[in-house]
Structure 1
Amino acid sequence: MLGGGLIVESAGTWGHEGAPMEANAETVLTDFGADPAGFTGRELLDEHVIRADLVLTATRDHRAQVISMGHSAGLRTFTLKEFTRLVNAIDPATLPPLEDGVVTRARALVRAAAALRGWLLAPTVEADEVYDPYGAPLPFFRSIGDEIHQALDPVVTALTGVPARM
C-alpha cells in the first residue's frame, strides 16, 4: 500500500516466475532507499490487468502485449516514459483536489493522460522506451535506475502535490 490506498505491484510479460531479483537490480534499489527483500518475480496475468487502474510498462512492445490481453487495457496502459510525458502536459489544477484522496486523483490523472495520447507525440520512437538492463553490468543498471527515477518524479508530484526531488 502506498499513499493512502494506492497498491503498486510488479509483474513481467514473460518468464522469471518465482525468480529472485537480479543482484545489480537489488544494488540499485538499495541505492535509492528501497528494500528489495522478499521480492520474487511473477508473470503478468489477466487478473492483474483486470484489477489495475494503470499499467505501466518499460517498452512499447510490453505495452502491446498488455493490450493484446484484452480487458479494455488500452486506455490505462502506457510505457512509463509515455505516461510521464503526458502527465507533464496536464495542469494539476484540472485534477481533483488532494483532499479527495490520492486514488481519485490517480484515476483522473490516468483519464487525462489517455485523452492526451495521440495529441502529444513522442519526439522519437525511442523516447518512450526504458531498456531492460537484464544481464548488464552495474553502471548500466544505475543509468536505467536514474531514468526510472526521473520518470517517476513528475508522476509522484502530480499525485501528491509535493515535488518528489528536493
Structure 2
Amino acid sequence: MHILFVCNGNVCRSVIAERLTRSIAVEYRLAGITAESAGTRALVGFPVEPRAAEAITGLGGDPGDFRARKLKPEHIDRADLVLTMTENIRDEVAELTAARSRTFTLLEAYRIARVTGARTVAELHRCRDNLSRVGRENIADPVGLSARAYCEVGDKIADALVPLLVALAPAALPADHHNWGRQPVVVRQAPSPKRLSPLVTAQHNGWYA
C-alpha cells in the first residue's frame, strides 16, 4: 500500500507524516506500506523546516535527504491512499484526478477506521458518508509558531497515524503474513523537555481514545 501525504508547502506536516510512516513500517515490519509526500503550493527544493525536523527526530523518524516538491497528478495516480492535512486540501486533491474514493484527511481516515472497524481503503470510503462529524478534521500549519507547536503537530499526526497504519496493515501484507500483528505496537518518544505527550500505544485489534 503506497500512501501519499499532502499539505501546502511540503516542508512540515506532510513530511512529518511521510517520515513517521516510513519509520513505523520498518520498525514494526508493516510489509507493503510505503510513503511519499507533496505540497499544493510547495516550496520546491527546500529541505524539511528545522523545527519539523526536530519533531520527526523526536518521534523516531529520519528527516534527512528530503526536498519539497509540488503535487502533480502522477503522484496521486500511483497512490493507493491519499491523506491530506486539511479538508480544503483533500477537496483540491480530489479535483485533480478521479481519486475521491481514496482521498481523506488524516484525521478523517483515523476516525472512520476507529469508529467503524474499516480495514481497507474501500471500506473507509464506503463508511465516510455514514458518520456525522464533530468539528473540522484539520491539522493546522505550524509555520511561524514555536518549537512546542511543532511538537504538538507531530504528536497529533502520530496519534492518528500509528493506529491507522496498524489497522490498514493486513490489507498491505502478503498472504503468508496473515498472523502478523498479534503483538502490540508501541511507539516510544525520545525524552525531551519539549515533549509532553505520553507513550503512544496501539493494539492491532483495538484503539485508544
Q: Give the TM-score of the pair, scaled to structure 2.
A: 0.66
Q: Which residue of the partner structure matches residue 84 of structure 1? A: 110
What are the within-5 Å matches in structure 2 for residues 150-165 of structure 1?
150-160=159-169, 161=181, 163-165=184-186
For residue 133 of structure 1, the aligned residue among 142, 166, 175 is 142
Q: Which residue identity lines up with residue 111 of structure 2 in the other structure?
A: R
Instruction: Say if 2:25 is the partner of 1:6.
Output: no
* Structure 1 portions without partners, runs of 5+: 96-108
What is the deviation of 1:152?
0.8
CA distance in 2, matches of 1:137, 1:11: 23
Identity %: 36
Give the counterpart letter for 1:63 in structure 2. Answer: R
Give, as a single letter, the amino acid of the residue that structure 1 aligns with 2:185. Answer: A
Task: Give 1:102's aligned residue.
Answer: none
The whole-number CA distance in structure 1 between the counterparts of 2:184 and 2:102 is 24
The amino acid of 2:130's aligned partner reads W
Larger % of strand: which? Answer: 2
77-86 vs 114-123, which deviates more? Answer: 114-123
Note the C-alpha offset of 1:13: 1.1
Give the deviation of 1:91 after TM superposition. Answer: 3.1
Following TM superposition, by how much is the alpha carbon of 1:159 offset from its aligned partner in structure 2, in angstroms?
2.8
Runs of at least 5 residues in structure 2 that lack an aligned partner in the other structure: 1-21, 170-180, 187-200, 202-209
For residue 137 of structure 1, report the CA deviation from its aligned partner: 1.2
Q: TM-score by structure 1 length?
A: 0.83
Amino acid at match of 1:55: V
Encode CA deviations 1:67-102: one digit per residue, 9 max, x unaligned. 1102x210100000000001112336xx5xxxxxxx
The CA RMSD over aligned residues, in Å, is 1.6
Query: Hey, what's the Cα distance between the residues in 2 that align with 1:18 and 1:62?
Result: 21
Aligned counterpart, 1:33: 60
Greater percentage in helix: 1
The one of 127, 134, 158 aligned to 1:123? 134
Amino acid at match of 2:122: R
2:42/2:71 contact within 8 Å kept: no
Q: Is the 8 A contact 2:90 2:104 kept in 1?
A: yes
